[in-house]
């Protein structure tokens, strides 16, 4: 029986101050490709939500409720929460206004662009996870009408799909990650 050991490159962390790359973390090309496709897919979900809510493409937002036609994307969501949701009133008092619409839409756009481009993945993962956590908390799956799972829902899965590319540096494959790392290093802007 033959055993193999990982390459020294995969097990040795990058020296302080030197940029790390996806190849340092994920060594198999097929795995890198799957991570890149997942990164682009979750980014497209956020970009599509931004485009549909901005222009009212008719998929979840009709044109008369489009942001460019005076619609209120965050207010539309928060204003229609069932009263039995325990945190609905808290989130409504904070974000049921034009400020809530602006940060919601800016978040969708920024997270989507970062994920598709492969640059700024750490910030996109943190801000996207916060956004999805708020959306989870404001409409808890075990309160009121139940979905298919009273604990986990798509918000949790989407948050994981944002975190995984950030920790694996998946923006390096089919994205601007390597170029961006040369500009900003391995800090929070990576």
8 A C-beta contact, residue 45 and residue 39: no
Greatest CA separation for the chain = 68
The residue behind tokens 């808290």 is: 90
- For the stretch 133-184, pLDDT in tens is 999 999 888 887 766 788 888 999 999 999 999 999 999 999 999 999 999 9
- For the stretch 86-103, pLDDT in tens is 999 999 999 999 999 999
Q: Structurally, how many domains does the chain consist of?
A: 1
User: Which residue from 86, 136, 134 is spatially nearest to 107, judged by alpha carbons?
Assistant: 134
User: Is 7 contained in some domain?
Assistant: no
8 A C-beta contact, residue 118 and residue 171: yes
Long-range contacts of 157-164 (CB under 8 A, 24+ apart): 158/42, 158/45, 158/128, 158/132, 159/128, 159/129, 159/132, 159/133, 161/38, 161/41, 161/42, 162/42, 162/111, 162/115, 162/124, 162/125, 162/128, 162/129, 162/132, 163/125, 163/129, 164/35, 164/38
User: Is 3 contained in some domain?
Assistant: no
When computed from its CA atoms, the radius of gyration of the chain, rounded to whole angstroms, is: 19
User: Is 10 contained in some domain?
Assistant: no
Which residues constitute the domain of residue 32? 28-182
User: Is 178 contained in some domain?
Assistant: yes
User: Is 34 contained in some domain?
Assistant: yes
- Band of the pLDDT at 19, cuts 50, 70, 90? confident
Q: Does residue 11 surpass a pLDDT of 60?
A: no
Record the pTM: 0.87
The residue behind tokens 């101050």 is: 17
User: Is 15 contained in some domain?
Assistant: no
User: Is 55 contained in some domain?
Assistant: yes
């Amino acid at each position: 029986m033959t055993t193999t050991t990982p390459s020294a490159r995969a097990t040795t962390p990058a020296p302080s101050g030197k940029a790390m790359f996806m190849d340092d973390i994920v060594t198999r090309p097929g795995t890198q490709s799957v991570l890149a496709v997942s990164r682009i897919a979750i980014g497209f979900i956020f970009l599509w939500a931004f485009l549909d809510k901005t222009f009212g493409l008719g998929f979840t937002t009709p044109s008369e409720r489009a942001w460019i036609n005076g619609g209120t994307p965050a207010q539309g969501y928060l204003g229609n929460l069932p009263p039995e949701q325990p945190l609905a009133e808290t989130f409504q008092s904070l974000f049921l206004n034009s400020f809530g619409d602006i940060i919601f839409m800016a978040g969708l756009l920024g997270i989507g662009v970062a994920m598709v481009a492969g640059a700024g993945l750490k910030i996109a993962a943190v801000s996207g996870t916060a956004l999805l956590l708020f959306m989870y908390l404001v409409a808890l799956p075990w309160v009121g009408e139940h979905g298919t799972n009273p604990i986990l829902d798509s918000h949790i899965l989407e948050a994981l799909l944002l975190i995984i590319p950030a920790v694996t540096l998946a923006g390096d494959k089919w994205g601007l990650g390597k170029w961006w790392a040369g500009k900003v290093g391995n800090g929070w802007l990576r």
